[in-house]
């Protein structure tokens, strides 16, 4: 989550003064709302631009006050002054960008295009302000003589690095060029994401004959029929490139051509040489990222970005990925052979007189993997879904936090929300103290970007009077929206996703940092996925399943026979899952190890990258470049590897609990909570060693996936 660019945004946010304007703009007033949450229900599109303009004006005055302070620079009047400012922009950005991502519209997109260069210009005006930097540098140079505690020392160091790593030491001509690069990159990032959303929303595939849907579960057909009726096609079935729409088709539908149609629609988004084509955007982004890296003396963007991560450089990442790629690819090849055999047997049964072989293709993998899972483990996801009702799964995740940390979750009614589907929870500690406020928003809609994520709406920090301001956190997903009168039933992948994002939420909620730039998920990017992936481990543990997996119709707890099937199948298809993920990570690194974008052909580059790594034809990389939001929009460039890097840590961390014989062992849970509370106040490796007492063992991950005994 945290790159140099994201740290820039953090510093934009923390340099704005809180202020109160007239009551005409709810973004500029301190809202009279429960727990001080934003007044989402009062905010209209017309409020955003004036709010940003007011915050920028206030910020410039605030920066001038720090710069022109005649007193000698100190930790308090310079470093802390930067951190403790910014409440207004925290609130404005917390509302605008969360709503833009989750419930946006064309008008908000247009506002974002206006605001992004304004914020980029403002950020550069702060980071590249030499007088301000000299004050920061003065404190940094004196830091060892100031008697600072470890968190204060960390704040000084991270503040200095935020300036130095983003151009404060550059000569004036290079500073001016950096400003132009940053502003253009901000707009390109918006354009890329908007193109993906536009391509996703533009594609609709209507099926008129129900016979074409043979094998598709009734629940999926009902949802598709409802979508078609809403689109003005009653009596038909509508499918889109949203995962909740096409995944059931890939998994269950006998219609091979339909499976191919929908998978290709999903994997070619942004690659149609039309107004929403992302290939030119990628080329320009790479040109600018390479130029930016070279301004700082790096040969490529990867090394510039990774300098602040646990991995430090691209060679470390490449070596790490290669070590996991080899066993995962071999496992995927074995799985492909099994699926091909199943296809051959099926064809022979249908037509024993032909020798023609139908080769396994990417649109066949999910379908035959589901058949093989049923054959080997008698496990049918449709049999499981009735036990994975969304509200119950969420209660299960909450229950894990209760057993680990004593947290309590109280639904709050009549809270201001930006969409009626959003729910709000008050989170308290075992002693009743407020921990934070959690919003959840789980269903897809036209204005929501694909995927699932956690964000701060408001950060945690402790103010000058010692008041601990508790965070407001949101979890967003795109789970199956139920047809009228039915509950939302989740797939196994959805269950893991909900637990994953809730792990991020706990990282934000439990934060106990003094300084907001160090609180919550403000950690190195290859560490930030550890708390989220750690939570996934609990999802299918038998004692956890029995706390939330109740049949939505009968109330029956999931039977031991189904739990046994889930655990027996736990290592099934892991070659595919890991290879799909790692290929995207390697493709990301290949892009960001480029030293020049001259002559870059995005499709040819992708093809060459996949051939170099030895990717098999039966699997499509998880994210093809033209819809790879992680690396061209949301700040994970040269960082998608972090999911696997963190997986080594999370498997090892969960092993710490397993070794005690108690998944909720109090002493281990207390150490884990302490790690979460620290946010970015400590070195990530130091924190993990303190929790575990030793380096993470990669064998725990390989063993969990079944790659080694």
Catalytic residues: 501
* Beta bridge mates, 455: 474
Q: Is 625 exposed, middle or buried, given 0-12, 13-18 or 19+ CB atoms closer than 10 A?
A: buried
Distance from C-alpha of 653 to C-alpha of 536, rounded to nearest angstrom? 12
Under a CB-based contact definition with an 8 Å cutoff, are residues 606 and 590 in contact?
A: no
Q: Where are the alpha helices (DSSP H) in 569-698?
A: 574-592, 602-613, 629-632, 642-658, 666-677, 684-692
Distance from C-alpha of 423 to C-alpha of 439, rounded to nearest angstrom? 6
Handedness of CA 90, 91, 97, 102 (dihedral sign): positive
Under a CB-based contact definition with an 8 Å cutoff, are residues 397 and 541 in contact?
A: no
Cα within 13 Å of Cα(525), Cβ side: 26
Under a CB-based contact definition with an 8 Å cutoff, are residues 377 and 569 in contact?
A: yes
Under a CB-based contact definition with an 8 Å cutoff, are residues 480 and 118 in contact?
A: no
Distance from C-alpha of 586 to C-alpha of 522, rounded to nearest angstrom? 25
Instruction: Give every CB contact of residue 93 below 8 A, 6+ residues apart in sequence.
Output: 9, 13
Nearest to 326 by CA among 583, 526, 570, 533: 583
Please name the helix (run of DSSP H) or strand (run of DSSP E) that holds residue 320, with its range, or none: helix 314-350
Return the structure tokens found at 601: 């052909």
Taking the chain, what is the end-to-end CA distance rounded to the nearest angstrom?
A: 33
* Beta bridge mates, 389: 489
Q: How many CB atoms lie within 10 A of CB 359?
A: 10
Distance from C-alpha of 301 to C-alpha of 293, rounded to nearest angstrom? 5
The dihedrals phi and psi of 651, each to the nearest 5 degrees, come to -65, -40
The dihedrals phi and psi of 519, each to the nearest 5 degrees, come to -90, 160
The conformation of residue 483, written as its DSSP 8-state character, comes to P
Helix (H, G, I), strand (E, B) or coil at 525: helix
Length of the chain: 709
- The helices-and-strands tally (H runs, E runs) of the chain is 28, 9
CA dihedral 579, 580, 584, 585 (to 10 degrees): -40
Instruction: Give every CB contact of residue 192 below 8 A, 6+ residues apart in sequence.
Output: 270, 278, 281, 282, 285, 629, 632, 633
Instruction: Give every CB contact of residue 114 below 8 A, 6+ residues apart in sequence.
Output: 49
Return the structure tokens found at 137: 């540098």
Distance from C-alpha of 610 to C-alpha of 58, rounded to nearest angstrom? 49
Greatest pairwise CA separation for the chain in angstroms: 92
Distance from C-alpha of 281 to C-alpha of 602, rounded to nearest angstrom? 10
Return the structure tokens found at 100: 């833009």
Distance from C-alpha of 647 to C-alpha of 652, rounded to nearest angstrom? 8
Q: Is 104 exposed, middle or buried, given 0-12, 13-18 or 19+ CB atoms closer than 10 A?
A: buried
Nearest to 428 by CA among 406, 398, 395, 403: 406
């Amino acid at each position: 989550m945290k790159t140099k660019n994201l740290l820039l945004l953090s510093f934009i946010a923390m340099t704005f003064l809180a202020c109160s304007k007239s009551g005409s703009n709810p973004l500029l007033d301190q809202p009279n709302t429960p727990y001080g949450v934003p007044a989402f229900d009062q905010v209209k599109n017309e409020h955003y631009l004036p709010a940003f303009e007011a915050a920028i004006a206030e910020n410039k005055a605030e920066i001038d006050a720090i710069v022109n302070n005649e007193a000698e620079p100190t930790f308090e009047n310079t470093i802390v002054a930067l951190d403790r400012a910014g409440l207004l922009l925290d609130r404005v950005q917390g509302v605008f960008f969360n709503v833009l991502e989750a419930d946006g519209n064309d008008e908000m997109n247009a506002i974002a295009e206006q605001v992004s260069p304004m914020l980029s210009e403002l950020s550069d005006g702060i980071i590249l302000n030499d007088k301000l930097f000299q004050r920061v540098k003065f404190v940094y140079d004196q830091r060892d003589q100031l008697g600072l505690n470890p968190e204060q020392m960390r704040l000084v160091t991270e503040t200095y690095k935020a300036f130095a790593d983003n151009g404060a030491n550059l000569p004036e001509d290079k500073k001016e060029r950096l400003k132009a690069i940053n502003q253009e990159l901000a707009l390109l990032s918006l354009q890329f994401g908007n193109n993906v959303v536009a391509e996703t929303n533009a594609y609709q595939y209507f099926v008129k004959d129900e016979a074409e849907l043979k094998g598709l579960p009734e629940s999926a057909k009902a949802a598709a029929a409802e979508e078609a009726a809403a689109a003005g096609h009653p009596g038909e079935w509508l499918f889109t490139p949203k995962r909740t729409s096409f995944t059931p088709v890939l998994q269950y539908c006998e219609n091979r051509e339909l499976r191919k149609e929908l998978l290709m629609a999903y994997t070619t988004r942004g690659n149609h040489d039309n107004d929403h084509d992302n290939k030119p955007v990628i080329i320009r982004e790479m040109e600018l990222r390479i130029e930016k890296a070279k301004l700082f003396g790096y040969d490529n963007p990867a090394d510039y970005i990774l300098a602040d991560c646990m991995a430090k450089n691209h060679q470390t990442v490449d070596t790490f990925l290669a070590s996991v790629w080899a066993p995962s690819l071999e496992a995927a090849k074995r799985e492909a052979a099994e699926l091909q055999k199943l296809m051959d047997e099926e064809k022979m049964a249908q037509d024993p007189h032909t020798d023609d072989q139908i080769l396994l293709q990417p649109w066949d993998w999910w379908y035959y993997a589901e058949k093989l899972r049923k054959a080997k483990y008698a496990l049918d996801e449709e049999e499981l879904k009735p036990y994975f009702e969304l509200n119950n799964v969420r209660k299960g995740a909450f229950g894990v936090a209760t057993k680990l940390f004593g947290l309590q979750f109280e639904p709050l009614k009549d809270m201001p929300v930006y969409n009626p589907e959003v729910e709000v929870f008050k989170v308290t500690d075992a002693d009743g103290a407020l921990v934070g406020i959690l919003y959840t928003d789980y269903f897809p809609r036209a204005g929501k970007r694909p995927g699932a994520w956690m964000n701060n709406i408001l950060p945690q920090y402790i103010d000058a009077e010692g008041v601990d301001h508790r965070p407001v956190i949101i979890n967003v997903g795109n789970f199956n929206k139920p047809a009228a009168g039915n509950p939302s039933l989740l797939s196994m992948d959805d269950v893991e996703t909900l637990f994953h994002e809730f792990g991020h939420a706990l990282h934000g909620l439990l934060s106990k940092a003094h300084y907001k730039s160090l609180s919550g998920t403000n950690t190195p990017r290859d560490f930030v996925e550890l708390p989220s992936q750690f939570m996934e481990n609990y999802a299918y543990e038998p004692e956890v399943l029995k706390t939330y997996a109740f049949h939505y119709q009968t109330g029956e707890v999931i039977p031991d026979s189904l739990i046994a099937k889930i655990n027996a199948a736990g290592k099934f298809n892991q070659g595919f899952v890991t290879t799909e993920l790692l290929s995207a990570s390697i493709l990301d690194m290949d892009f960001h190890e480029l030293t020049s974008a001259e002559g870059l052909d995005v499709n040819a580059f992708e093809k060459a990258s996949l051939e170099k790594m030895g990717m098999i034809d039966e699997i499509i990389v998880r994210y093809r470049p033209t819809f790879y939001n992680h690396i061209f929009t949301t700040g994970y460039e040269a960082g998608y590897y972090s999911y696997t890097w963190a997986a080594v840590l999370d498997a090892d961390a969960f092993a710490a609990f397993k070794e005690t014989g108690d998944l909720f062992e109090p002493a281990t849970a207390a150490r884990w909570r302490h790690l979460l509370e620290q946010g970015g106040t400590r070195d990530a490796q130091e924190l993990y060693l303190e929790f575990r007492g030793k380096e993470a063992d990669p064998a725990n991950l390989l063993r969990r996936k079944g790659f080694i005994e």
